[in-house]
């Protein structure tokens, strides 16, 4: 096995160990020392890759994210958004990714470096994909031509984050349907006089 492959395998092992420990003890009790001990590597090996527990955790969580949150374009904006929002709810609504992502959001609230990296690597790409899809729908006449697309994105994502982070109520397909119905009542094209 070459050195690059060993390094990649070691990195993967360290990140998986960090995820496993975070799920067992919670992010607050996660330590670089515990990760090193369980992964069978020295602390220096971890610190060469990640200068802090927070950045290790960020990489570990984002590397574990499943794909499938890209928006299709079937010509039906509501169906396309429902498909992706339902997938996101499935991902966020249960372990392992849901609790890990909640901890990551919590860390980002007081760690500017984590907030910036999370925004750059996950939030902004997801937002750009959603905005591109609703812009295409607007251009196809499925949405009011003057509706603020940035606001549309916030109206679509805000309720999910509210439930995930504030009320801890279930994220269900039925809830997604309620959000889409409420949002699209205001975003739809209006009859011209």
Domain ranges of the chain: 3-63, 66-187
Q: CA-to-CA distance for 188 and 180, rounded, in angstroms? A: 11
Q: Which two tokens stand for residue 66?
A: 């499943």
Q: CA-to-CA distance for 91 and 89, rounded, in angstroms? A: 5
Instruction: Give the model's pLDDT for residue 2.
Output: 76
Q: Which two tokens stand for residue 179?
A: 């959000």
Instruction: Give the model's pLDDT for residue 66.
Output: 55
Instruction: Give the model's pLDDT for residue 46.
Output: 94
Q: How many CA atoms lie within 13 A of 136 on its CB side?
A: 15
Tell me the mean pLDDT in the region 31-58.
93
Q: CA-to-CA distance for 124 and 118, rounded, in angstroms? A: 8
Q: CA-to-CA distance for 22 and 168, rounded, in angstroms? A: 19
DSSP class of residue 27 equals G
Is 7 a residue whose pLDDT tops 70? Answer: yes
Query: Which range has the worst mean pLDDT, 42-56, 94-108, 124-138?
Result: 94-108
Is 15 a residue whose pLDDT tops 80? Answer: yes
For helices 149-162 and 124-139, angle between their N-to-C axes, nearest 10 degrees: 130
Is 190 a residue whose pLDDT tops 80? Answer: no
Give the pLDDT band of residue 51 (cuts 50, 70, 90): very high
The dotted CATH code for 3-63 is: 1.10.10.60
Instruction: Give the model's pLDDT for residue 133.
Output: 96
Chain segment 155-180, per-residue pLDDT in tens: 999 999 999 999 999 999 999 999 99
Residues sharing a CB contact under 8 Å with residue 128, sequence separation 6 or more, in sequence order: none
Instruction: Give the model's pLDDT for residue 167.
Output: 95
Query: Which range has the worst mean pLDDT, 37-51, 70-84, 93-107?
Result: 93-107
Q: CA-to-CA distance for 141 and 11, rounded, in angstroms? A: 47
Is 26 a residue whose pLDDT tops 80? Answer: yes
Is 27 a residue whose pLDDT tops 80? Answer: yes
Q: CA-to-CA distance for 96 and 91, rounded, in angstroms? A: 8
Instruction: Give the model's pLDDT for residue 94.
Output: 82
Q: CA-to-CA distance for 91 and 98, rounded, in angstroms? A: 6
Is 8 a residue whose pLDDT tops 90? Answer: no
Indicate the helix (H) or strand (E) that contains 3. helix 3-25
**CATH class of segment(s) 66-187:** mainly alpha
């Amino acid at each position: 096995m070459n050195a690059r492959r060993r390094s990649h395998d070691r990195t993967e092992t360290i990140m998986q160990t960090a995820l496993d420990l975070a799920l067992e003890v919670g992010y607050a009790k996660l330590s670089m020392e515990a990760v090193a001990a369980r992964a069978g590597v020295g602390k220096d090996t971890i610190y060469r890759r990640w200068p802090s527990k927070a950045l290790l955790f960020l990489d570990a969580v984002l590397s574990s994210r499943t794909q499938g949150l890209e928006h299709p374009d079937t010509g039906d904006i509501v169906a396309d958004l429902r498909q992706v929002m339902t997938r996101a709810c499935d991902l966020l609504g249960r372990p392992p990714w849901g609790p890990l992502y909640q901890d990551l959001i919590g860390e980002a609230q007081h760690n500017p470096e984590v907030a910036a990296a999370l925004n750059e690597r996950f939030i902004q790409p997801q937002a750009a994909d959603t905005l591109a899809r609703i812009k295409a729908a607007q251009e196809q006449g499925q949405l009011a031509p003057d509706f603020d697309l940035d606001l549309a994105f916030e109206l679509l994502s805000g309720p999910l984050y509210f439930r995930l982070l504030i009320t801890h109520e279930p994220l269900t397909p039925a809830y997604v349907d309620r959000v889409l119905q409420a949002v699209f009542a205001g975003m739809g094209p209006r009859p011209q006089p």
